[in-house]
Structure 1
Amino acid sequence: MVILGIETSCDETSAAVIADGRVTANLIYTQQMHATYGGVIPELSSRAHLLKIAPLVRTSLSKAGIELKDVHVVAATAGPGLIGSLIVGYTFAQGLALSLGKPFIPVNHIEGHIYSGFLMNPAPEFPALILVVSGGHTLLLNVRSHTSYQILGTTADDAAGEAFDKVAKLMNLGYPGGPAIQKSAEKAVRKNISFPIADVKGDYNFSYSGLKTSVLRYIQKNFPDGVIAPEEQSEIAYGFQESAVGALIAKTELALRQGSYRSISVAGGVAANGRLRDRLADLSAKYQVPLVVPAFEFCTDNGAMIAARAKALIESGIPDYGIQEPFPSFKSVFADAPLVKRS
């Protein structure tokens, strides 16, 4: 079976091919123009997707050695994400499938991230404790099977990736903030700056607005003119990263203590963070639960994860689970996907 996966939920245009369960192409175009603005401009993003989607699909098929007529299924991200960007990929994929007379499978973007781990060998075993950490979402999930998962916790305010972006912007480190913060933090020497970790007591939820505010106040107090030397940037970046990652680890460990899992996995753009990977590896060793970490190319938004999720849906007998149109918010998934069991 050959599946073409298309992803356009934010500022990455991606097309990937999975043939007989193997990723044979996974091309990603990242829109660099947003770095100028310190964040994604939705209209610019959707326009860029329009320009890139067709040539990227052609190139991915060529790289995979597949002709368009040999594609069995076309899948695309339906949401959540930027609605203008989603519409580009969704309608392109839907039209392509219609022209080929092949099935079209809309995929939940978050569920796509979950399946980045399933592109690895070995893949996560169920029940799996999966942490999804991106610019727009922070979720801790108990994934019981391909068609059943429980949301244990989410963010009460900012997503972890969003906090990385905003703190990087405060220090003029550039966009995206995740890689910039990590690179700066690696140069820290004193490592004597710390920021409080919000503890949402009694559950698995996260909170990052307070951490972001703490960094802002520290900068305003100690650098009122806004000029921060590179060595001081590194110390602040280190302190922030330790707290941001520490919050993720604390809730993941709580879930490990209170539940029973056969594997741990992490997904989303922040999954590329080296400190987070190291801390998760420590948890894996401590609790003797195998850790599955996606390759870096599968951490960012990509078409391979969308194709992988579509493959799992097909094999589970749920090729169409109620999504009729693109949706911008995560909440709409519950109403639009009633056949995927959730508790």
Structure 2
Amino acid sequence: MTTDLPGPPQESVPSLLRPGARVFVAGHRGLVGSAVVRRLTAQGYDVLTRDRDGLDLRDAERTGAHLREIRPDAVVLAAAKVGGIMANSTYPVQFIEDNLRIQLSVIAGAHSAGVERLLFLGSSCIYPKLAPQPIPETALLTGPLEPTNEAYALAKIAGIVQIQSYRRQYGASYISAMPTNLYGPGDNFDLETSHVLPALIRRFHEARLGGAPAVTLWGSGTPRREFLHVDDLAAACVLLLERYDDDAPVNVGSGEDLTIRELAQTVADVTSYQGSIGWDTGKPDGTPRKLLDVSRLVSLGFEPEIPLRGGIARTYAWWLDQQAARV
């Protein structure tokens, strides 16, 4: 299944990236990185990648040497160790250490290679658990984090500070963006390590196939979450590379949220599951609400184009195609 990309934003200011610029995408096989590759390619940029087996981005020496060899005009740092509540709670050491190593290697390596532009991708989990809603970028470091993903969040906060430090000390034109919850083609559907939306797709699909009369989900279903299709994120990433140059991080989201209960019902409808949905309130809910204030991004001309239900249907169809290809 092919995914139609949202149209490029209208040009209104000179781009900070020259036409056909060479852009190295770190993490190009992941959910985010693959979408960024599609978007950059569609807009005429020369995309550079390197497979994980050929370059471990946690290795600072080899990463720096590779970037000095290829000397890209820009870098998109989309590589990261990611996962849902269960994975974050089970492997906090890997979530903080792997992400810190990747960030230190790529950002420092890009600077040593004279890379002019760099976009670091963080996460909305950097914000305090009880941040004001919608969450403005200024909420960063104003309160305690959500304990279930604190290790990952601290690594991403360190990345933001690293970006700001390179700007302050060296005048580097490096920027950072904080995406909301993402989904789309290329997502991880492993029930042990996936985020909520692909996990729900798989749970309801398998329940329908198995004729399960009920599906029980973690938590109460009352937390509210915002979701953005990864192709909309990719469009925002290119927009930021072309138009944004400031040390403040930029939130990237849809500007709308819904309860996990509402999300579950939508996924059940899309996957044609007709059984009942129960909730295990003994399991953690995570942050009560996480909706980003995206006014800074909107002021640059961004508007998401893929509605949630349609995006879920397309993601489900993509996953079914992947499953069929393995048979």
Greater relative contact order: 1 or 2 (C-alpha under 8 angstroms, separation 6 or more)?
Answer: 1
* Fold shared, TM-score > 0.5 on shorter chain: no
TM-score, structure 2 as length reference = 0.32
